[in-house]
Structure 1
Amino acid sequence: MASTGNENPSRVMVDSWKNRMIQTILYVLVSIALFGIVVETCFIYHLYTTKHSSELLYDKDFLRTDPTEDTSSFCIMEASTVPSKKTRAPPFKAFKPLAHLRAYVERPGADGVMRWNDKVDLELHELEYKENKLVVEKEGYYYIYSKLCFDADEVSFHHLMVMTRPSYKTPSPLELLRNRYHGDHSKPLKKVGSVQNSYLGGMFHLLKGDAVFVVVKSGTVRLQTAADNYFGMFMV
């Protein structure tokens, strides 16, 4: 029997329905994928804005501490107060022990121990300042440093970083760092009253109770500004 050339109408309807179903399924899948991308973008944006807002809040209110912490140690010491406390909060939240001391008006004592200004510009956190020494409260590795400005007209200048350790049987101080300066006075100095700088710095493992201090032997420390002479340490 010869073909009439006309397709079965029912089959055409079935094929059309299948095409519409495939298009609908593809549309749904594409919509779900786009919705997932939008949700992920919103989630990332929310995390970023939350973190950024927290950082801004911390910057504006850096003295705010955990309500469970003891806030009595986070007070600003005035010049008239006696520095009896071991901890004074620096102008940021410190997570490790640190200290930075400056000298301004006092020269070394008769024993050569350098004296530091404990009334103004005292940065001290989880370290004790006692008798011109920094006493360690937490064992660990510390970077200690000191810079002194001295009179270059002197014959010599000895700058030392010294430590005492209670656990040692002998009380003799241990020299950690030393800088020796010997001026060349074979020719007159170009300028009378010239100055030199001495810097010491190094990393050491310190135990609880160790006391670190600066000693000057021979020579004259020049006290011009608080930035000329300083001493500090921090845990790494």
Structure 2
Amino acid sequence: MAEGGTAPPPQVFVVDTQASYISTPRDKKSSWARAGQKILFLLLGLLVLGVLVEGYLIYILYQRTASFSHCGSNMPCRNLTHTLGSENQDGRTSSQRQTKESNEIPPHVTKKRPFAHLLGSEHPVGDNNVVLWNSLAQHDSVNIEYNNGRLIIKEEGHYYVYSRVELDVSKDTTPIFHKIMKTSSGYGKEIELLKATSHCVHKNPANCAAEDIRSSFLAGIFHLQEDDKIFVTLSNVEKLHRSANGNSLGAFMIEP
């Protein structure tokens, strides 16, 4: 206690136990910084990977261009390089290629298809109105034979069959029937394939020319089997004009 005066009052401190605790907010800037660093590292890694891939592709391109630069203008060398590159891509070796090529038929090698072409004969009259032909004019006898006015098919397939005749229709108005016939081992009778009619157009035979020659042509595609026989008949063979170049019978295979 001081002399001559009163002592100051004592200080009193009160502690409030009911006061609420106020938390200090975290620093948001530091979390965003860490996320930005991660994204930056990721982009940097992708950049490095892209550089490595680009370098590898450039190396492959350099190797290929180097092989062509060694060939220069030598075309066989360029072809060999291209062949080797193709083999590496499809995984086949040269021996495998040679085996495959040896088993293939060259495109220019084709099988000769059967055909025949007969011209008119000086003695065309045969039995049962069958026209006879000059067998010496037959172009090909392989797989197609000729016998007694008939073409005998020896190989099954689709054939183009044709016949042309020149007929003297003067002084006769009776129609002359020109037919291409077929006989087959599977049938017991003759089969008519094609038919045409020729005659003088005038009702009065006196009005017909002294020598009125008419041409008749028949043609069609038929499926013929082995041993089928093709022949021509005329209702009046005597009216056939004796012309070697004007009369013909032929057939050739168009598809097996």
Q: Give the deviation of 1:32 after TM superposition.
A: 2.6
Matched, 1:112 2:129: yes
Instruction: Note if contact 1:146-1:232 (Cα within 8 Å) is conserved in structure 2.
Output: yes
Measured in 2, the distance between the counterparts of 1:160 and 1:202 equals: 12
Measured in 2, the distance between the counterparts of 1:130 and 1:147 equals: 19
Q: Give the deviation of 1:121 after TM superposition.
A: 2.1
Instruction: Note if contact 2:68-2:78 (Cα within 8 Å) is conserved in structure 1.
Output: no
Q: Give the deviation of 1:108 after TM superposition.
A: 2.3
Q: Give the deviation of 1:217 after TM superposition.
A: 0.6
Q: What is the aligned partner in structure 2 of residue 213 from structure 1? A: 231
Q: What is the aligned partner in structure 2 of residue 161 from structure 1? A: 180
Measured in 2, the distance between the counterparts of 1:110 and 1:136 equals: 21
**Cα root mean square deviation, aligned:** 3.0
More helix by share: 2
Once the two structures are superposed, what CA deviation does each residue of 1:86-116 show, in whole Å capped at 9, x if it has no partner? xxxxxxx971111111113012224100001
SS at match of 1:32: helix
Measured in 1, the distance between the counterparts of 2:183 and 2:232 equals: 12
**Unaligned residue ranges in structure 2 (runs of 5+):** 1-61, 80-109
Measured in 1, the distance between the counterparts of 2:112 and 2:78 equals: 33
Q: Give the deviation of 1:126 after TM superposition.
A: 1.2
Q: How does 1:161-180 map to 2 (within 5 A)?
A: 161-168=180-187, 171-180=188-197
Q: How does 1:1-236 map to 2 (within 5 A)?
A: 29=65, 32-33=68-69, 35=71, 38-39=74-75, 95-118=112-135, 120-123=136-139, 124-153=141-170, 154-155=172-173, 156-168=175-187, 171-186=188-203, 188-189=207-208, 191-218=209-236, 220-224=239-243, 226-236=244-254
Instruction: Note if contact 1:179-1:200 (Cα within 8 Å) is conserved in structure 2.
Output: yes
Instruction: Note if contact 2:71-2:78 (Cα within 8 Å) is conserved in structure 1.
Output: no
SS at match of 1:115: strand
Identity %: 27
Scaled by the length of structure 2, the TM-score of the pair is 0.55
Per the alignment, do residues 100 and 41 of structure 1 end up closer, same or farther by CA in structure 2, a change over 3 Å counting? farther
Q: Give the deviation of 1:218 after TM superposition.
A: 2.8
Q: Give the deviation of 1:33 after TM superposition.
A: 5.0
Once the two structures are superposed, what CA deviation does each residue of 1:100-142 show, in whole Å capped at 9, x if it has no partner? 1111301222410000112x32212311112211111111101
Instruction: Note if contact 1:108-1:216 (Cα within 8 Å) is conserved in structure 2.
Output: no
Amino acid at match of 1:101: L
Per the alignment, do residues 33 and 209 of structure 1 end up closer, same or farther by CA in structure 2, a change over 3 Å counting? same
Measured in 2, the distance between the counterparts of 1:41 and 1:142 equals: 49
Per the alignment, do residues 113 and 94 of structure 1 end up closer, same or farther by CA in structure 2, a change over 3 Å counting? farther
- Number of residue pairs the alignment of both structures matches: 159
Amino acid at match of 2:162: Y
Once the two structures are superposed, what CA deviation does each residue of 1:160-217 show, in whole Å capped at 9, x if it has no partner? 000011122xx2200000001232223613x421211000100000111111100011
SS at match of 1:99: strand
SS at match of 1:129: strand
Per the alignment, do residues 204 and 30 of structure 1 end up closer, same or farther by CA in structure 2, a change over 3 Å counting? same
Which of the two has higher C-alpha Rg?
2
**Unaligned residue ranges in structure 1 (runs of 5+):** 1-25, 44-92
Instruction: Note if contact 1:94-1:125 (Cα within 8 Å) is conserved in structure 2.
Output: no
Measured in 1, the distance between the counterparts of 2:232 and 2:165 equals: 10
Per the alignment, do residues 152 and 94 of structure 1 end up closer, same or farther by CA in structure 2, a change over 3 Å counting? farther
Q: Give the deviation of 1:30 after TM superposition.
A: 7.9
